[in-house]
Amino acid sequence: MMAKKSGLPEFLAFHRPYLGSEEIEEVVDTLRSGWLTLGPKTARFEEKFAAQVGARFAVATSSCTAALHLSLDGLGVGPGDEVITTPYTFPSTIASILYCGAKPVLADTLPEFPNIDPDAVAAAVTSRTKVILPVHFSGAPCEMDSLEQIASRCGAAIVEDAAHALPACYKGRAVGSIGRASCFSLYAGKNITAGEGGVLTTDDGDLAAQARIKRLHGISRDAWKRYTAEGSWYYEVQDLGFKYNMTDINAAIGLHQLDRVKAFHERRLQLVKLYNDKLRTVEGLTLPRPPGDVESSWHLYVIRIDPDQAGVSRDSLIEMLKADNIGSSVHFIPAHHHPYFQERLGWSGDLCPNASRLYRGAISLPLYPAMSDGDVEAVCASLERIVEESRA
């Protein structure tokens, strides 16, 4: 293979999860135990997760998408209701609203950061607004004080898409303990993983109880115990449920990933500082700066390129990084750009201009605890060289 100018001998993946021997041994223990699906390890994982974010309840699910659906469903969101959310998100945020038969209403992002703009939310409120669904982009909490004010004025609940936001704080409050419900993701690419999985956290006991029932076919609470010595064969369907439970195999991984939250976070902060120091002087790049009194989880390091100043387009830059053995990505293609949502909801590409502008310049650089300082330095050197050569 030809030597890469970055000096990286192997392709630097955009993301790679860190899994230790603890995770592997716990999974093997689960396999040997004979209990594979929702059971005691999921229960332990839930207790530990709730403690991590300071919530009264944590309900583990098969995904963050499932947790979002259960939250909205549990709050009674249905046909005729509107849910105000951001275009700057993964499509499943929008899908979770559509699953309920409700109407997603987009509020544009802030001009300089892809979090929802509270003024745009206030302008989108109608008598049908039932929930406000902010997304803490890259783990930087949204302006929750303003959103809470708007929500309490119009009688709406706040459900947070916190897929990126472990661990994150807004004015010293941990995400997961702020809104009526917060939904986290344990997908392989997120800050911690269970392979796949999600968690709904809430202080609302009724919402948690209902989510527990509906994540497993709508059958009576702790139905899984019917296969153990303390259980019995009898169960009742209490509601129309889904198949949204976590499994103990996934929980086995998640239990030990939770032990790593602090160390992972500290490593992310070091890598972010290194990126900031090295990229500050590169022409045409805007570095990520979460607004407000927040502590971001730094799930993503998203730079913004100005093609005129940098002399290279966003899309070419991604290709040139790839040729240099560096993986990158784009977060996110805004919801109003996707053809299905456009057709179904009458959205057009110019609906949310701030989100569209931020998207057009965005590149997510690799950022994960398994990276070395040398990896970050190689990415920065490559970016600097590409911009220098392109401007020449």
Ligand X SMILES: *Cc1c(COP(=O)(O)O)cnc(C)c1O
Binding site residues, ligand X, CB under 6 A: 63-65, 89-90, 92-93, 135, 161, 163-164, 185, 187, 198
Alpha carbons 231 and 218: distance in angstroms, whole number: 17
Residue 187, beta-bridge partner list: 195
Q: How far is CA 137 from CA 62, 89, 100, 145, in A?
A: 21, 8, 23, 17
Cα angle vertex 88, ends 284, 59, to 5°?
A: 130
Task: Say if CB 53 and CB 167 are below 8 A apart.
Answer: yes
In whole angstroms, what separates CA 208 from the centre of its chain?
20
Give me the helix-helix angle, 40-53 and 248-259, nearest 10°. 30
Residue 4 falls in the annotated catalytic set: no
Give me the helix-helix angle, 261-279 and 248-259, nearest 10°. 60
Task: Say if CB 325 and CB 386 are below 8 A apart.
Answer: no
Three-state secondary-structure class, residue 105: strand
Taking the CA atoms of residue 376, residue 378, residue 380 and residue 384 in that order, the dihedral angle to the nearest 10 degrees is 180
Catalytic residue among 48, 190, 273, 278: 190
Hey, which residues are catalytic here? 190
